[in-house]
Amino acid sequence: MITTETAPIIPSFGEEDSGRKLAIICSKGNLDMAYPGLILANAALGEGVETHLFFTFWGFDMINKKTMDDLKFTMLGNTATHLPQGLGGLPGMTSMATHQMKKSIEEIGVPEVPEFLQQIVDSGGHLWACRMSADMQHLEAEDLYDEVEAIISASDFIEKTDGAQLLFI
Amino acid sequence: MPTTTIDSHDIHVDDEGFMTQYDEWTQDLGTALAAQIGVEMSPEHWKAIHFLRSDFPEHGETPTLRRVATVGGIPTKQLFMLFPKKPAKKMAYIAGLPKPRGCV
């Protein structure tokens, strides 16, 4: 007698080692532009993707111990606030806009930049600092967030992320 | 909504295989679901799964990895060790809950 059995429906969690890699270049130091890279890195790590972040130019503010806690959001030059541009130039507007944005981010349970970087590292992510940016700003490894693995050249980063998908933010 | 049989338990699932009926879950079934995806349950694994099970009805959605770490008190690094590669989805599957919908 032949019996047929239907295979159980089980979700696919992908191959054990898919080899997928993601490289994210963070080049902005504004609060609102720090988050896209962090959120995507975190999401990629949660999907088992090897993830590398390279901080360069203004993106250095995200890993500079002096500035990482104090990134700002400005309405100036950002038409997406849908408010008159002149307002953005008034005294105190940038700190008010920053405060407002930080509050909205906190309300949905998303951490501030330093804690977010720690979460990314704890999830297996790699943080790299750009050599040229460090030289321009006269910064050394000890000035940077402790979890940054090294200050490396752009070509070293390209070499490390061979075969990776790349995002420039 | 499809149904499927895991280790002689008949359950309602979505198209991917995540359970859709909170009350159909039992701890035995959790063990069977874990075995399907190559996870052998230990007391540490159960601590995470029990947090998901208790948080879901209170909060109305499956907790994200961050919530399991910050509210559930299980460090992120440990969650990646217990449920390798895709911890949030694997935990949701074993706990008989939908995939988390939050981004972070």
**Which tens digits make up the pLDDT trace of A38-97?**
999 999 999 999 999 999 999 999 999 999 999 999 999 899 989 888 888 899 999 999
Residue B6 to residue A13, Cβ atoms within 8 A: no
Dihedral over alpha carbons A136, A95, B102, A146 (to 10 degrees): 40
Alpha-carbon span B65 to A28, nearest angstrom:
27
List residues bridging with A152 in a β-sheet: A130
**What are A147's two structure tokens?**
């979890």
Alpha helices in chain A (DSSP H): 31-46, 85-88, 93-107, 113-122, 131-136, 154-160
Q: CA B82: distance to chain centroid? A: 12
DSSP string, chain B: --EEEETTEEEEB-TTS-B--GGG--HHHHHHHHHHTT----HHHHHHHHHHHHHHHHHSSPPPHHHHHHTT---HHHHHHHS-S-HHHHHHHHTT-PPP----
Task: Identify the pLDDT of residue A19.
Answer: 87
Partners of residue A105 in chain B, C-beta under 8 Å: none
Residue A122 to residue B89, Cβ atoms within 8 A: no
Residue A39 has φ and ψ, to the nearest 5°, of -65, -45
Report the gap between the CA of B67 and the closest CA in chain A (Å).
8
For residues A142-157, give the mean pLDDT: 96
pLDDT over threshold 90, residue A119: yes
Report the gap between the CA of A82 and the closest CA in chain B (Å).
25
| Contact in structure between B93 and B17 (CB atoms under 8 Å) | yes
pLDDT in tens, B23-57: 999 999 999 999 999 999 999 999 999 999 999 99
Please give the model's pTM, rounded to 2 decimal places.
0.90
Report the residue from A8, A46, A122 with minimal CB separation from B86.
A46
Complex ipTM: 0.89
- How do B3-6 and B9-12 pair as beta strands? antiparallel
Residue A10: closest CA among B5, B88, B46:
B5
Quick one: pLDDT band at residue A14, thresholds 50, 70, 90?
A: confident
Domains and CATH numbers, chain A: 21-74+112-168 (3.40.1260.10)
pLDDT over threshold 70, residue A4: no
Partners of residue A48 in chain B, C-beta under 8 Å: 84-86
Report the residue from B2, B13, B86 with minimal CB separation from A48.
B86
- Chain B segment 13-52 residues within 8 A of A by beta carbon are 13, 15-18, 36-37
Report the gap between the CA of B4 and the closest CA in chain A (Å).
5
Residue A55: closest CA among A143, A132, A160, A159:
A132
Partners of residue A12 in chain B, C-beta under 8 Å: 16
Alpha-carbon span A156 to A148, nearest angstrom:
15
Alpha-carbon span A23 to A163, nearest angstrom:
9
| Contact in structure between A11 and B93 (CB atoms under 8 Å) | yes
Q: Is the dihedral of CA A85, A91, A93, A94 positive or negative?
A: positive
Partners of residue A14 in chain B, C-beta under 8 Å: 85-86
Q: Please report which helix (H) or strand (E) contains residue A27, including its range.
A: none
Alpha-carbon span A137 to A46, nearest angstrom:
33
Partners of residue A106 in chain B, C-beta under 8 Å: none
Residue A11 to residue B87, Cβ atoms within 8 A: no
